[in-house]
Amino acid sequence: MRAYNFSAGPAILPVEVLKEAANEILDYEGTGMSIMEMSHRTKTFEKVLNDAEALLREIMNIPSNYKVIFVQGGATTQFAAIPLNLMSDNKKAAYIETGNFSKKAYQEAKIFSPEGVRIVASSKDKNYTYIPDCSNLDIDKDDDYVYICENNTIFGTKFHTLPDTKGKPLVSDQSSCFLSEPVDVTKYGVIYAGVQKNVGPSGLAIVIVREDLVRDELVFKTPTMLNWKVQIDAGSLYNTPNSWAIYICGKVFKWIKDLGGLEVMKKRNEAKAKVLYDYLETSKLFKNEVEKKDRSIMNIVFRTESEELDAKFVSEAKNHNIVSIKGHRLVGGMRASIYNAMPIEGVYALVDFMREFEKENLK
């Protein structure tokens, strides 16, 4: 039986995709081997890679002046790649701090430019339970980019309006909201995501970068693998890529397309999130502390009044086939990650159990 897997990542994938991959694992399209065993220089794998990129471009409506690369090292490796690739001699950038991942990205950028990298807005004062006002940021004329983490996986918040970057390129970590809803790619300089939250296996990141931001000459001495231009020129095949993850992502893109694309994903995701938020609003035992206007529809955090009761909830949830519901260690409580592949039945099962638990445990 499949579990209702609420893991934040690596996370639930569509059962249709897993079955297809299972069917092909001994013999991919008559080649007598699986994609895992195949040279990345074969025509067969090249087609897998090219088809994946083409499908991604189609479902996200990525304009032709944006490059797409599939790179290794997850999202975290890009925390360094971003300043290394985007900074001019100014070496200045503005970061918006809305949680752990934007803080880490900021700290990484500071390694390369301790003076020039600044936090221009933060929600740290209220433990990242909201998105700060970004309508009049202190952007410097020399800033090379403005950085956000668009959906905060750990704290359960999301930018529903993009910051006013005053004309500077916006760099967005979309790891936990990638392909969860339509986005206007033209509003961004760079979109990137570790794929293991909403689209595939771990260890792969997708970087979508506007052509004019790709530098021929980098300001910093940069490891070859982190140089976007090298990856772009090599068509993501500079070295052996994470071929298995690219293959699964391609299948997930196809799954999204066949269901009707990102508009449909958004409707499904909003419907799922509504079931859980509606219950949380009426519950006397569980609470969600996130500012309503800034709620994530991908990661929903909640807690009871005590850590003991939270632990009891997590433990008893397993008997209801509800797994990986424990909150991140920085926040405690619970977190339901309800990515694209989570069926609404999983959310119904969770809310049913929460009601039952509330009845039994409310003093």
Residues that bind ligand PLP (CB under 6 A): 9, 74-76, 101, 149, 153, 173, 175-176, 194, 196-197
State in angstroms the smallest separation of the CB of 323 from ligand PLP: 18
* CA Rg value for the chain: 21
State in angstroms the smallest separation of the CB of 93 from ligand PLP: 17
> Helix, strand, or coil here: 18?
helix
State in angstroms the smallest separation of the CB of 353 from ligand PLP: 25
- C-alpha to C-alpha distances, 266 to 238, 256, 263, nearest whole angstrom: 35, 11, 5
Query: Residues near 344 by Cβ (< 8 Å), separated by ≥ 6?
Result: 268, 271, 272, 275
Alpha-carbon distance 315 to 60, whole Å?
A: 39
Closer by beta carbon to ligand PLP, 5 or else 176: 176
Closer by beta carbon to ligand PLP, 180 or else 196: 196
Which amino acid, one-letter code, is at 187? K
Closer by beta carbon to ligand PLP, 38 or else 131: 131
- C-alpha to C-alpha distances, 160 to 24, 163, 189, 289, nearest whole angstrom: 39, 10, 18, 17
State in angstroms the smallest separation of the CB of 23 from ligand PLP: 28
Closer by beta carbon to ligand PLP, 59 or else 149: 149
Alpha-carbon distance 273 to 350, whole Å?
A: 12
Closer by beta carbon to ligand PLP, 14 or else 156: 156
State in angstroms the smallest separation of the CB of 153 from ligand PLP: 3
Kindly give the pairing relationship between strand 146-149 and strand 170-173: parallel
State in angstroms the smallest separation of the CB of 139 from ligand PLP: 22
Closer by beta carbon to ligand PLP, 150 or else 310: 150
Closer by beta carbon to ligand PLP, 90 or else 202: 202
DSSP assignment string, 286-335 = -B--S-GGGB-SSEEEEB-S-HHHHHHHHHHHGGGTEES-BPPTTT-SEE
State in angstroms the smallest separation of the CB of 149 from ligand PLP: 5
- Closest residue to bound ligand PLP by CB: 74
Contact indicator for 190, 4 with CB cutoff of 8 Å: no
